[in-house]
């Protein structure tokens, strides 16, 4: 082992000499100075503690020891081996009959290596293929006790979670910032069995009945002939479907709003969408809708930023999530419920609330009618160690429920209960995906499921059936008092078999009207621009005309604006629903904390390094992230060890989309930073400057523009910037060009 270690050390030394230009690389030519091997940028904060990789057991963010300490999947020993554990001395050349001869079939190492590589890919998810995951902890606050007996909600109870955020339409390699719905799926590893809350960042869905899911997805995915466009709804088949199947109009309106282009996963709300039924200790039931409320507030990109990011940084959202967690800025969400009585109304109809059908997943219940009550808080505090093992292989299922949480007859939810088991057979290759580390419950499992592809359990006993006497009757059946999942007795109507829906499902427009009417003027402008852009990408005139006519049934003014943008005649005015508003639906007009926001600090070669350092530390101290933008990489103030500042972005690698605000220390004369400032300005982001902002009239920027402040000293920057960040953007800044 010693000899081998020496060999490795020598080889590493040789490699390092070659790479950094050690002595004697070219005889007679002096060796160049080795560059510093230090990270050019300072780490932004401590990594969260991670325990050793302990075999196949999932990582535990609460530090709880798992009962399973099997070592099966662990990398053991320091030597490279075959899959069978035979040590290898060479892995660069295949065995050949002589140096120039053909390769030998007997080379097991070659065949094993290539065979495994050939099968490394699995089918991507049919929808939600692109995602990013994180581990965390959910802590209940006890407020749900009167409506739900599930232990996960008990006051102070901590439960490990794994969350996967996703886009819906794009393939695994598509961009994060496309206009789309985002998945927000949470696996709660509760003591009473795993509970999955498989939701989205939009509280309604395109369809009311699961049988329409293949239709909407086929329409929304790329055209089947050329497979264009990737990860977009801006094409004919999508608008063909949603303009014909009008129950999609409400969800489509949310997609065209700023909700379709979130600033970050950290600034998204999440929704369970369907109505669920909760059961308390006394066996009483209530109906609820689940909401996730981000502590950082709800913020979005503007469309131009989303488009730029798709090219400049298609990983913007997954990078943002991973970086924040790694820096210790753990994202948090409150989990809340809207509670509705589980009663039958005067017309003998159940699951109705203020005339809203709670079984219709295209409807919301405005928060003003049923406030969201917080029942716990989730903190994401650890990144996955292995993307494939965790984020790719995690398998969610809306039917994974803990005692106290039950489904309703929402026909969309009912169909999902079938789909999520079924799809894993293709995706994960067999029925034992529940044994994968990320999918293993943290509650004890004693099922009688046996054998099958990828079986990793070594089950004991001879009687995997019930009843039995040969295994002593084990495993035993539990009663409600032992925490068993007991079905809730429910009256199912004395009914006939039909393929139909209740009459309340026929209202496809009133809540789209409610949503649009609840938006501020600037949000309405964004919606009109989004419809105009998307329909402008369609080729078929009749599809555009039909969709504009549907918009007229939501809001005639909106329809006229979009028609004008498309060069179509204004549609006829038709009656719309009575206009009511729900202010809670708007993202603008509220103030949010500035925590976790990214602040660009723009410097030049001649900038005062001490002032930059002071600024950087002040940003950190205020729980935000400073990113210093300089002409070249490395450090500012090299040679003054106490006063150096790491450069995070160069003029070449920066782009405005990742900064929430910009601090100009000195104004460079450089075309790339001109673009930076002009985009920051156009996207209504806060700008604070220590230098006079002269010569920027071309981009519309003057020192008295809203959201632009010029300050005299570094200490004045953050007090000026934070109130501007609280509203996310300077919404009152005039639009030089429509964004
Ligand atoms: Fe999904 N959905 N879905 N869905 N869904 C999947 O399951 C499906 C629906 C949602 O990060 C698939 O394991 C049907 C609503 C999320 O792994 C698949 C219907 C909502 C994720 C599937 C719906 C969602 C999925 C693909 C109509 C919000 C990603 C891979 C009845 C409440 C989960 C997989 C992850 C994934 C089917 C509708 C959310 C094919 C049939 C409504 C967040 O089974």
From 531, 564, 585, the end of a domain falls on: 585
Residue 516, in any domain of the structure: yes
* Ligand 1 close to Cβ of residue 289 (< 6 A): no
Q: Is 164 annotated as a binding residue?
A: yes
Sign for the CA dihedral angle at 260, 265, 269, 271 comes to: positive
* Ligand 1 close to Cβ of residue 397 (< 6 A): no
pLDDT band at 1 (very low <50, low <70, confident <90, very high): very low
310 and 175, same domain (yes or no): yes
Catalytic residue among 128, 251, 274, 728: 128
pLDDT band at 718 (very low <50, low <70, confident <90, very high): very high
Residue 738's pLDDT is 52
Residue 42, in any domain of the structure: no
Ligand 1 midpoint to CA 198 (Å)? 7
606 and 572, same domain (yes or no): no
Q: What does pTM read for this prediction?
A: 0.91
Give 127-157 pLDDT, tens digit per residue: 999 999 999 999 999 999 999 999 999 999 9
Residue closest via CA to ligand 1's atom 3 equals: 416
Domain that holds residue 672: 598-726
Residue 235, in any domain of the structure: no
Residue 555, in any domain of the structure: yes
Residue closest via CA to ligand 1's atom 44 equals: 420
* Ligand 1 close to Cβ of residue 212 (< 6 A): no
Ligand 1 midpoint to CA 426 (Å)? 15
* Ligand 1 close to Cβ of residue 423 (< 6 A): yes
Burial 134-148 (b: 16+ CB within 10 A, else e): bbbbbbbbebbbebb
pLDDT at 101 over 60: yes
Q: Which two tokens stand for residue 334?
A: 């409150």
User: Which CATH number goes with the domain that contains 139?
Assistant: 2.40.180.10
Backbone phi and psi for residue 418, each to the nearest 5 degrees, phi listed first: -80, -45
* Ligand 1 close to Cβ of residue 629 (< 6 A): no
Ligand 1 midpoint to CA 289 (Å)? 17
Q: Is 416 annotated as a binding residue?
A: yes
* Ligand 1 close to Cβ of residue 125 (< 6 A): yes
Query: Angle at CA 333, nearest 5°, toward 327 and 336?
Result: 170
pLDDT at 17 over 80: no
From 585, 619, 646, the end of a domain falls on: 585
pLDDT band at 3 (very low <50, low <70, confident <90, very high): low
Give 442-486 pLDDT, tens digit per residue: 999 999 999 999 999 999 999 999 999 999 999 999 998 888 988
CA 509, CA 577: separation in Å to the nearest integer?
Answer: 7
Largest Cα separation within the chain, whole Å, is 98
Note the ipTM here: 0.98
Give 380-396 pLDDT, tens digit per residue: 999 999 999 999 999 99
Residue 289, in any domain of the structure: yes
Residue 495, in any domain of the structure: no
Residue 337, in any domain of the structure: yes
Backbone phi and psi for residue 350, each to the nearest 5 degrees, phi listed first: -100, 175
Ligand 1 midpoint to CA 427 (Å)? 13
Residue 241, in any domain of the structure: no
Catalytic residue among 141, 200, 201, 439: 200
305 and 422, same domain (yes or no): yes
Residue closest via CA to ligand 1's atom 24 equals: 199
3-state DSSP of 168-208: CCCCCCCCCCCCCCEEEEEEEEECCEEEEEEEECCCCCCCC
Ligand 1 midpoint to CA 166 (Å)? 10
182 and 273, same domain (yes or no): yes
Q: Is 509 annotated as a binding residue?
A: no
299 and 404, same domain (yes or no): yes
Using the 8-state DSSP alphabet, how is residue 539 labeled? Answer: -
Give 212-234 pLDDT, tens digit per residue: 999 999 999 999 999 999 999 99
Based on the residue annotation, tell me whether 200 is a catalytic residue of this protein.
Answer: yes
% residues pLDDT > 70 (the chain): 89
538 and 653, same domain (yes or no): no
Residue 166 Cα: closest atom of ligand 1: 11
For 390-429, where are the alpha helices, taking DSSP H only?
A: 411-427
Based on the residue annotation, tell me whether 468 is a catalytic residue of this protein.
Answer: no
Q: How far is CA 58 from the centre of its chain?
A: 21
Ligand 1 midpoint to CA 523 (Å)? 28
Q: Which helix (H) or strand (E) holds 534?
A: helix 521-536
* Ligand 1 close to Cβ of residue 309 (< 6 A): no
pLDDT at 15 over 60: no
Q: Which helix (H) or strand (E) holds 279?
A: strand 276-279
Residue 68's pLDDT is 42
* Ligand 1 close to Cβ of residue 213 (< 6 A): yes
624 and 646, same domain (yes or no): yes
* Ligand 1 close to Cβ of residue 187 (< 6 A): no
| Antiparallel, parallel or unpaired: β 649-650 and 661-664 | unpaired
CA 240, CA 711: separation in Å to the nearest integer?
Answer: 53
| Mean model confidence pLDDT for the chain | 90
Using the 8-state DSSP alphabet, how is residue 371 labeled? Answer: -
* Ligand 1 close to Cβ of residue 415 (< 6 A): yes
Residue 198 Cα: closest atom of ligand 1: 43
pLDDT at 10 over 60: no
User: Which CATH number goes with the domain that contains 605?
Assistant: 3.40.50.880
- Among 122, 123, 124, 125, the mutation site with the greatest number of ligand 1 atoms within 8 A of its Cβ is 125
393 and 279, same domain (yes or no): yes
Residue closest via CA to ligand 1's atom 9 equals: 416
Q: Is 682 annotated as a binding residue?
A: no
672 and 702, same domain (yes or no): yes
pLDDT band at 67 (very low <50, low <70, confident <90, very high): very low
| Residue spans of beta strands (DSSP E) within 582-634 | 598-602, 625-630
675 and 616, same domain (yes or no): yes
611 and 566, same domain (yes or no): no
Give 262-280 pLDDT, tens digit per residue: 999 999 999 999 999 999 9
Our count of domains for the chain comes to: 4
| Antiparallel, parallel or unpaired: β 405-406 and 276-279 | antiparallel
135 and 270, same domain (yes or no): yes
Ligand 1 midpoint to CA 314 (Å)? 23
């Amino acid at each position: 082992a010693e000899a081998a270690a020496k060999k490795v050390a020598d080889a590493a030394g040789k490699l390092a000499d070659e790479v950094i230009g050690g002595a004697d690389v070219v005889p007679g030519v002096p060796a160049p100075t080795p560059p510093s091997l230090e990270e050019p940028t300072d780490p932004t904060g401590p990594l969260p503690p991670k325990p050793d990789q302990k075999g196949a057991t999932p990582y535990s963010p609460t530090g709880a020891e798992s009962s399973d300490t099997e070592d099966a999947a662990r990398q053991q020993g320091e030597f490279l081996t075959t899959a069978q554990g035979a040590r290898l001395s060479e892995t660069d050349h295949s065995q050949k009959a002589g140096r120039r001869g053909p390769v030998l079939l007997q080379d097991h190492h070659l065949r094993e290596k290539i065979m495994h590589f050939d099968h490394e890919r699995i089918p991507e998810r049919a929808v939600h293929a692109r995602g990013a995951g994180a581990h965390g902890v959910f802590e209940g606050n006890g407020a749900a006790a009167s409506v739900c007996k599930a232990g996960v909600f008990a006051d102070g109870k901590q439960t490990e979670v794994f969350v996967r955020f996703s886009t819906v339409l794009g393939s695994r390699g598509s961009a994060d910032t496309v206009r789309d719905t985002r998945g927000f799926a949470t696996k709660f590893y509760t003591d009473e069995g795993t509970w999955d809350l498989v939701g989205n960042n939009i509280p309604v869905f395109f369809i009311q009945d699961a049988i329409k899911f293949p239709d909407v997805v086929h329409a929304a995915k790329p055209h089947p002939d050329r497979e264009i466009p990737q990860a977009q709804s801006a094409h004919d088949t999508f608008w063909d479907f949603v303009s014909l199947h009008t129950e999609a109009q409400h969800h489509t309106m949310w997609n065209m709003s700023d909700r379709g282009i979130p600033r970050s996963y950290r600034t998204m709300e999440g929704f369970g969408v369907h109505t669920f039924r909760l059961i308390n200790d006394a066996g009483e039931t209530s109906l609820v809708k689940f909401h996730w409320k981000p502590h950082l507030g709800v913020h979005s990109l503007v469309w131009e930023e989303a488009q730029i990011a798709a090219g400049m940084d298609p990983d913007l959202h997954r990078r943002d999530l991973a970086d924040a967690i790694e820096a210790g800025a753990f994202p948090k969400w409150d989990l809340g419920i809207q509670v509705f009585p589980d009663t039958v109304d005067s017309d003998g109809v159940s699951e109705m609330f203020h005339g809203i059908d709670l079984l219709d997943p295209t409807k919301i219940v405005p928060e003003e009618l049923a406030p969201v009550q917080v029942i716990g808080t989730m903190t994401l505090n650890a990144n996955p160690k292995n993307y494939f093992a965790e984020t790719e292989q995690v398998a969610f299922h809306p039917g994974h429920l803990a005692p106290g949480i039950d489904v309703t007859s929402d026909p969309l939810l009912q169909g999902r209960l079938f789909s999520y088991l079924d799809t894993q057979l293709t995706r994960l290759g067999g029925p034992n995906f529940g044994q994968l580390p990320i999918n293993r419950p943290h509650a004890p499992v004693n099922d009688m499921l046996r054998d099958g592809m990828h079986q990793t359990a070594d089950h004991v006993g001879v009687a995997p059936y019930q009843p039995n006497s040969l295994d002593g009757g084990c495993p035993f059946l539990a009663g409600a008092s032992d925490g068993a999942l007991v079905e809730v007795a429910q009256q199912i109507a004395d009914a006939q078999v039909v393929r139909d829906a209740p009459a309340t499902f026929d209202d496809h427009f009133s809540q789209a009207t409610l949503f649009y009417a609840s938006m501020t003027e600037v949000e309405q402008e964004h919606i009109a621009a989004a419809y105009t852009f998307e329909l402008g990408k369609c080729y078929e005139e009749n599809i555009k005309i039909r969709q504009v006519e549907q918009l007229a049934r939501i809001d005639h003014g909106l329809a006229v604006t979009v028609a004008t943008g498309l060069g179509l005649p204004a549609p006829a005015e038709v009656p719309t629903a009575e206009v009511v508003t729900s202010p809670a639906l708007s993202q603008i007009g509220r103030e949010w904390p500035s925590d976790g926001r990214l602040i660009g600090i723009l410097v030049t070669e001649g900038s005062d390094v001490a002032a930059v350092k002071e600024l950087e530390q002040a940003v950190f101290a205020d729980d935000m992230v400073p990113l210093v933008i300089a002409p070249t990489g490395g450090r500012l103030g090299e040679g003054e060890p106490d006063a150096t500042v790491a450069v995070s972005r160069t003029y070449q690698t920066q782009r405005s989309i990742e900064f929430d605000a910009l601090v100009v220390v000195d104004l460079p004369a450089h075309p790339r930073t001109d673009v930076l400032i002009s985009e920051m300005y156009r996207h209504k982001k806060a700008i604070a400057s220590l230098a006079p902002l002269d010569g920027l009239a071309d981009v519309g920027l003057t020192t008295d523009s809203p959201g632009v402040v010029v300050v005299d000293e570094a200490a004045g920057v953050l007090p000026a910037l934070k109130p501007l960040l609280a509203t996310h953007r300077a919404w009152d800044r005039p639009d030089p060009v429509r964004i």
